[in-house]
Amino acid sequence: MSFGDASCADHCPMARSGFLRSTAAAALAGIAGSGLLAASASAQTVGTISPSRVQGKTLVYPLPPNEGAQIDTGNGVIIARVKNAVYALSITCPHRAVTALDWNSSTKEFHCPRHGANFQADGELIDGRPDRSMDRFAVRRAAGAIAVDTANLLQQDSAQDAWIHAFVTVA
Ligand code: FES
């Protein structure tokens, strides 16, 4: 699966396969009430989060100061920072939306316990049955925070350009 490789070459904050294997900073956690939060290392953060503000279907979260993931199990949102990009990922596997993903602390990848798919920290599909990467929510910057439009879930295969650009940058 190679969604985004060519089209992403000039503007994506992270190349498809390079980041997770080249840096130890991209660590995320197990998800969805499974109690699988992984141990964090010095350059990564893993934890839980709740929106600081709710405006209808828009959830506002503080921007993460470090790389890693903050998981809002109640709303099914993962706020993931990879280098200077912050994403809002859906917690569910894109193959079967009822399956919650785990974090594999040894490979530093998301893992689907149902059929074994693996995903990078920014949600890009590595391998497995899904025909697309993890779904991303539409986001915008909101005064030092990230506003996540949970009514606008972007699928890589049907909204590729919007999916690619669904992040906010941080310094
Ligand atoms: S449900 Fe995740 S790979 Fe099938």
pLDDT digits (tens, 9 = 90+) for 36-82: 333 333 345 567 899 999 999 999 999 998 887 888 989 999 998 88
Q: Is 57 exposed, middle or buried (0-12, 13-18, 19+ CB in 10 A)?
A: exposed
pTM of the model: 0.76
pLDDT digits (tens, 9 = 90+) for 98-148: 888 877 666 667 889 999 999 998 999 999 999 999 999 999 999 889 999
Gap from CA of 4 to ligand 1 centroid (Å): 21
pLDDT at position 45: 55
Class of domain 18-169: mainly beta
More reliable by pLDDT, 158 or 104: 158
More reliable by pLDDT, 87 or 7: 87
Pocket of ligand 1 (CB under 6 A): 93, 95-96, 99, 112, 114-115, 117, 128-130
Q: How far is CA 163 from CA 2, 15, 51, 80, 154, in A?
A: 14, 15, 22, 15, 6
Gap from CA of 91 to ligand 1 centroid (Å): 12
